[in-house]
Amino acid sequence: MESSVPSEDRQRAAPSDNPRVAYRHQMLGLCTAGSSFYLAGRIVIPPLAVPIKDGFGIGNAEFGLALSILWAAYALMQFPGGVTSDATGHKAVLVGSMLISGVGFALLATGGTYEAFLVAALVTGVGGGLFMIVQFRFLSVLYGDNKGRAFGLSGGITGIAGVVAPIAATSIVGVASWRHPFAAMVVIVIAVALVLHVRVRERYVFERPALSAAVSRSIDQISSAKILLLMAITAIFSVAVQAVTTFIPLFMYEVKGLSLSMSGTMLSVYFLVAVVARPISGTLSDVVGRRTVAGSALVFSGVLLAYVVLVAKPFYALLVSFALFSWAIVSFSPAMDAYYMDLFADDSMGGAFGLARTFILFVGSTGPYLIGVGAETSGFANSFAIISGCLVLAGAMLLATTRAF
């Protein structure tokens, strides 16, 4: 594979080397733009749960199934995306994944049946899964030891999309079709693909990855007790995140009695907090330790989620406690993602991290369906309470084993 990305960038560009530093920052901006617009298109689905359910005549379980399919596809693309980027470089996967996401959004904008909605969710998940894993690898190569800060900045800025998109989506209900936001996203993600095509300094190299060797190397890297424990803990986090971001708007609407627009705004609060929390978490993990930051985030998020679900009643208490929960849980990813990248070898980083994320996110993809079923059998409160307990347990395990590994 040939790439015009300078080899020195695979470690850390010298601060005085302005062209290389400028290129790193430009790539950080482009990767962040891609993840932001993908998130915007995906995150409007939960706030639009009511009109989508009404339009297709489905219940919570069927709606949760669609989101689980999206996340399962997202998960299953992690390893293929990582292995492909190890073999061919980043450019082809970054550009191709944005185009696939555009197809998914187009299907969401036009599909007229529930079955078509499921297919659209599947394609959208494929595009996002390919993009996100390669983005992590690309930024890790460019930023070296400062990857935690880069991941935090990217995640924080991406959170702006999560702030704006739910508010914009719910504001158009009653004025225009719920499909219109997805039509807009088709144009935007194709534009991002074109800019990536022009600006990423790599040649297109189309090689078939050596899958058997890649699988063997990746399995070797993730098969230690240390990595398996980390994967189990991160899978619990993934279930919680998918469950919360899918059903918190509906929970706020049906259980807490908020209006449809205010329920969508609560999801925006989650991403607004992430704009500030993720860069702080990533930078802090570079300084005080990745496991300490990640473990503390899980413990606090579990306690705060229990309070949101079981205790918080006045609106101000609900808002403040949910904002604090959001701060805690979004602080986990920048620290833990950087920790995984610290552990994996450079030549198989994409495949190893991709295989780990495939397991993590595939388990996480069950979250929306499980909460949807749980909401219809025992109620939202009981389902979320179980998740809060699992978060506390996972965080305690991570903190307790910090010295053991």
Asked whether the predicted pLDDT for residue 404 surpasses 60, the reply is no
CATH class, 13-201+208-400 region: mainly alpha
Q: Which two tokens stand for residue 260?
A: 């449809």
Where does residue 147 fall: left (phi above 0), alpha (psi -120 to 50 degrees), or beta otherwise?
A: alpha
Over residues 108-162, the pLDDT tens digits come to: 999 889 999 999 999 999 999 999 888 888 888 888 777 778 888 888 788 788 7
pLDDT score for 17: 55
Q: Which two tokens stand for residue 149?
A: 């800060």
Asked whether the predicted pLDDT for residue 33 surpasses 90, the reply is yes
pLDDT score for 348: 62
Query: Taking a C-beta distance cutoff of 8 angstroms, is the pair 48, 170 a contact?
Result: yes
Asked whether the predicted pLDDT for residue 41 surpasses 50, the reply is yes
Place 16 in a pLDDT band, splitting at 50, 70 and 90.
very low
| Residue 247 neighbours by CB under 8 Å, 6+ apart | 46, 60, 64, 368, 371, 372, 375, 380
Mean pLDDT of 42-52: 85
